A and B are shown apart, each in its own frame.
Chain A
């Protein structure tokens, strides 16, 4: 009776070990698959971060350019204030006539 019990439990144990082994193999496969996906996403994220940083740097450069241009505009506007006023005066006067001719 004891012998038959021992005999029937051995294949059961083997079966459990096989099942565990198969599960382990499947889990490794899943791990590999998941890791690959994660790596792809992470690489994409890193590339995007680089892009964001580059874009930030470009924006900073552009902002510097704008600041320089604004300064230039302010300087030149002060230098030519009188001529600008004259231009605006003619523009106003001309607009009156254009509206009347329409």
Chain B
């Protein structure tokens, strides 16, 4: 009897121990999983942190790239409209030139003004003159004649393309062979040149320089010529400084001295040179450098300039 009673007790004991061990094992496994989950969660947090950093960098990059796209699109649009923009800035330039010229006339400007003008071109030396002007980044004014030979076509075009002002110096320049004989002979020559320049360059000019200077248009025609020119909206200009290359070719030094000495005590100078003069061409770099040192800026002529007589 005692034996039979002891069996269930031993069996119960095994069950109790077994259950306890089982519960303990499950509990430990649970705790292990919890610890693992905590570790994984921490790991995920750190991955989230780095992903957030990546995302933030990507957003910044995204923003920068959108800005780059905006700038590039604007740039492309500007390049497409570069001709219009150039025309606008050209207009602004001449408005500013007018304002500055007024300031200099009133003795207010910090720099003086030099209008460099070249007569009788195009000539064989004209491209070399243009090279010098390009080198010094200077704009000048070319008083052009009518030279129908195709050898000068590229030169006419280059003068305009480089941004220099082109002006009328009559078609024939025939001072001694009929240009000033009558009012009509002169005005017709001017209008012929206007048409010629328009055809060669696409530019219509209304600035004139009389061949030999305005004093060459002597009375009795002078008054009538000026009246007719006004009708065609022309203004004219002479010069107040010359390299002295109109007659006999001077030396390079003489051409230089003529200009530098002639510019003394003048706030606004209009320099006369001729495209045909090698001496003027050789003197030009030194002239530019000296005048720049003496606080001159070089400007191209424009119709609204007070130096243009209307």
A interface residues, Cβ below 8 angstroms from B: 6, 13, 16-17, 20-21, 23-24, 27-28, 30-31, 34-35, 37-38, 41-42, 44-45, 48-49, 51-52, 55-56, 58-59, 62-63, 65-66, 69-70, 72-73, 76-77, 80, 82-84, 86-87, 89-94, 96-98, 100-101
Contacts of A45 in B (CB 8 A): 44, 47-48, 51
A31 to B54, CA, bound (A): 32
A16 and B17 CA atoms in complex are apart in Å by 10
Chain B residues near A63: list those with CB within 8 A: 65
Expressed in whole angstroms, the Cα–Cα distance for A35 and B16 within the complex equals: 31
In the complex, the number of residue pairs spanning A and B with C-beta atoms less than 8 Å apart equals 148
- Residues on B lying within 8 angstroms of A by beta carbon are 9, 16, 19-20, 23-24, 26-27, 30-31, 33-34, 37-38, 40-41, 44-45, 47-48, 51-52, 54-55, 58-59, 61-62, 65-66, 68-69, 72-73, 75-76, 79-80, 82-83, 85-86, 89-90, 92-93, 96-97, 99-100, 103, 109-111, 137, 139, 161-163, 297
- In the assembled complex, the Cα of A75 lies from the Cα of B93 at a distance in Å of 29
Instruction: Please determine whether A37 and B41 come into contact, CB atoms closer than 8 angstroms.
Output: yes
Q: A55-B59, A86-B163 are in contact. Are A62 and B297 (CB under 8 A)?
A: no
Q: Can you report 17 residue pairs joining A to B where beta carbons are below 8 Å apart?
A: A6-B9, A37-B41, A38-B37, A38-B40, A41-B44, A48-B51, A58-B62, A62-B62, A63-B65, A70-B72, A76-B76, A80-B79, A84-B79, A86-B86, A89-B137, A93-B139, A100-B100
Q: Are B55 and A55 within 8 A (Cβ)?
A: yes
Which residue of chain B has its CB nearest to the CB of A100? B100
Given that A38-B40, A77-B79 are contacting pairs, would A21 and B90 also be in contact in the complex, using a CB cutoff of 8 Å? no
